[in-house]
Chains A and B, each alone.
Chain A
Amino acid sequence: MSSTSLPSPSAEMQWVLPSRGRVGMFCLIAAETAIFTIFVIAYIFYLGKSVSGPTPKDVLELPIFASICLLSSSLTIHMAVKSLRNAKVGAFGLWWLLTLVLGGIFLGETGREWYHLIYDKGLTISTNLFGTTYYSLVGLHAFHVTVGLLMISVAMLLTVFGKVKPEHHERADVFSLYWHFVDSIWIVVFTVVYIIGR
């Protein structure tokens, strides 16, 4: 009676669902975005509410070089994934290494900035509200960069030992979503901390 509207076997063959890796990563990114939102709100809420110095204007300098490194690492990881999808494992390794180096430079720069703030300017997390919110927000981001770099290093080791095959391109792709997320969060942190907050 109603056979006309029933799907034919060929329609069943086209049953395509989203990749679980990507969906899972987007869920993680949603949760992380919520966490960062709370820290950013706290930062903005406490702007200028410190009862003692130093203030952001006194001590912060624009981390231009570090930002360029981190943002360009988004491009290199994209190139790496593209190479792996095209089965060019060698090119993948090179782009991947470049990503690792750029991320490493960013982390090193953050470390240098913190050293400068702590030992030269005397700003710690318990100095004032600015210190509290600054170290927690930038530190949360740096923690995410560190986790990402650890994962990149593991994948780099596997590449060196020849364990990475072109069929792993989907996993690399899923990981690159995380890395793009960490980079785009930096744009928010940079804007809030170094431009609006200064």
Chain B
Amino acid sequence: MASESIAIGRLDAPARQIGEILHDWVTTVDHKKLGLLYIMYAILFLVIGGIEATIMRIQLIVPHNNFVSPQVFNEMFTMHGTTMIFFVAMPIVFGFGNYFVPLMIGARDMAFPRLNAFSFWISAFGGLLLYFSFVGGNGLYGAGNAPDVGWFAYAPLTAKAFSLGHSTDFWTLGLLVSGIGSIGTATNLIATVLCLRCPGMTLGKMPLFAWMNLVMAGLVLLAVSPLTAAQVMLSLDRYLGAHFFDTQAGGSAVLWMHFFWIFGHPEVYVLVIPAFAFVSEIIPVFSRKPIFGYPIMVGATVSIGFLSFLVWAHHMFTVGMNSYANSFFAISTMLVGVPTGIKIFNWIATMWGGKIRFGTPMLFCIAFLLQFLIAGLTGIMLSVAPFDWQLGNSYFVVAHFHYVIVGGILFGLFGAFYYWFPKMSGRMYNDALSKWHFWLFLIGFHLTFDFMHIPGLLGMPRRIYTYEPGRGWDVWNLIVTIGVFFQGAGILIFVGNLLWSSLKGKFAGNDPWDAWTLEWSTASPPPEYNFATLPTVNSRRPLWDIKHPEDPD
């Protein structure tokens, strides 16, 4: 979409061949193009992962359904989870980080532009390798088998004896390969934020977006690496006959769980901290007030990052740990609520007394606040170990983490899409369509995930293929599946709106929101070099200083 709008800037330039444009995108080291590549690639996988979710929900709409076979159902929930986490959420947050961190800190590119290209392409190829398993993977049921061991692939299900063929190896290798890209991008983001800030932008004057991306990148470094190590061990087990997770030779299946979740829990914060970053940029601009409590927001982000490494075993209460471990992880999990609560109060305080404009980005942020609060509250419920013994691995847990990921992270992402779409494409989105998207998706989200808590409380386990009628689950599952279609319609409107508006939308101008961070001081879309002259800043809101020379921050 950006190449199209760049061409508008140069009306005199001759129309370029499609091959030339393609060559441009493949060889680019420009952080903005790579950011867009990340985002477009993630949207593609978002649609694929959404289709997988829809297949699961259609299967569960009525008892004793036979929409798909049990093995396809297993593949669907495995691929849905893996896709959404590794090939939708992570690339999208990396894409926004890539695009906007250099712009916000007044830099011309990322610290390592070629590494940036390498990281994107290797992540993308990792996703393709995983999806190649649908055609090329031979598993338990013959050829063309996708991985079907669940997204956390517990041992001993992944052992050679229980997972024949190569379908599990596709999962391992796909994640291993894309993990290299994640570590590369995280390194790049940290180096960019620390080494390329424009003159005057001290760490204390950096936009919160850059701060939170810095923390996120640090989490990626320390969280994805353990996963990489665990995947190497699993591959050694499967290829060379090592015994890491082989219980018959004294290995431990629980060790895999620890290794997976020491990655898995920080990963949640890898995804949600960028959502915090979006919200922290959008809410002030749409409330016409500076962010409330900037230093405390930074401190809360850092402490969330720190705490996220101390809570992993709350995913494992049902495994049967001793009381000390249960108590420790219950308490540390509850502690996460403190900095998160501080953030929610700060956002509310930013809105308090402000002159709020209810644009679509702001609507998504307000929905984010409410839904993320509820998600946090069910999280506190599940952190109580005995409560978790009752509801672990039930649909209550599924509803809880979808509340976090969809109600929190995805709503934040949609807000970010609408907020920065004018900057990325140079054109304004269609406002009516965006409102349709918001309301349809909001209704669909609440139909699906509010009501999903109830069958969980009634004992419906996750990953179940089908169920008996008359257990009180039927009507709830019906409502949950109906909600999916609302969400699907919302997503289609969203994608259609992006495509249509990037070609036909009204020109947005440099600064459609009257915002305060540096990305709005340059053209929309920004030229390749971002800033003709590197800016110099004196405050947290450099554009405010320009617009109000009589009253600088």
Contact = CB atoms under 8 A, between A and B. Distances in A.
A and B: bona fide binding partners: yes
Interface of A: 2, 6-7, 12, 15, 17-20, 23-24, 27-28, 30-35, 37-39, 42, 45-46, 49-51, 125-126, 128-129, 131-133, 135-136, 140
Nearest to B115: A24
Contact of B538 (A7, A18, A38, A46): A7
Interface string B164-187: 000000000000000000010011
B196 interface: yes
Nearest to A12: B199
A2 B186 CA distance: 39
B140 interface: no
A46 B245 CA distance: 11
Contact of B243 (A12, A15, A35, A132): A132
A7 B250 contact: no
Contact of A51 (B187, B200, B240, B249): B249
B381 interface: no
B233 interface: yes
Top 5 A-B residue pairs of the complex, sorted by shortest distance between their CB atoms: A126-B241, A34-B225, A38-B229, A27-B187, A132-B242
7 contacts: A19-B195, A24-B188, A27-B186, A38-B262, A126-B242, A132-B236, A132-B244
B111 A24 contact: yes
Given A12-B200, A35-B229, A132-B243, A20 B221 contact: no
A23 B229 contact: no
Contact of A31 (B221, B230, B249, B536): B221
Interface of B: 111-112, 115, 183, 186-188, 190-192, 194-197, 199-200, 217-218, 221-226, 228-230, 232-233, 236, 240-244, 249-252, 255, 259, 262, 536, 538, 552
A38 to B, nearest CB: 4
A15 B105 CA distance: 14
Nearest to B224: A31
Q: Is the interface of B mostly helix, strand, loop or mixed?
A: helix
Contact of A18 (B195, B218, B552): B195
A59 B509 CA distance: 73
A12 B240 contact: no
Nearest to A3: B552
Nearest to A15: B199
> In the complex, which of the residues A20, A31, A32, A135 has the most CB atoms of chain B within 10 Å of its own CB atom?
A31
B225 A32 contact: yes
Contact of B226 (A23, A35, A51, A133): A35
Contacts of B224: 31
Nearest to B538: A6
Contacts of B200: 7, 12, 15
Given A17-B195, A46-B251, A129-B249, A35 B225 contact: yes
Tell me the dominant secondary structure on chain A's binding face. Answer: helix
Nearest to B226: A38
Contacts of A125: 236, 240-242
A129 B217 CA distance: 34
A189 B112 CA distance: 32
B533 to A, nearest CB: 13
A34 B186 CA distance: 14
Given A45-B252, A136-B233, A17 B194 contact: yes
A129 B255 CA distance: 13
Contacts of A27: 186-187, 190-191, 217, 221
Nearest to B254: A45
A6 B200 CA distance: 10
Contact of B236 (A28, A32, A34, A136): A136
A45 to B, nearest CB: 6
Nearest to A34: B225
B255 A45 contact: yes
Nearest to A33: B225
Nearest to B230: A38
A24 B191 contact: yes
Contacts of B252: 45-46
Contact of B255 (A12, A35, A42): A42
A2 B65 CA distance: 72
Given A27-B187, A27-B191, A126 B243 contact: yes
Nearest to B195: A20
A42 B252 CA distance: 10
Nearest to A45: B255
A181 B186 CA distance: 20
A42 B233 contact: yes
A72 to B, nearest CB: 29
A71 B201 CA distance: 41
Nearest to B553: A2
Contacts of B191: 20, 23-24, 27
Q: Which of B115, B191, B252 has the most CB of A within 10 A?
A: B191
Contacts of B186: 27, 31
A23 B249 contact: no
B222 A30 contact: yes
A138 B519 CA distance: 48
Contacts of A28: 183, 187
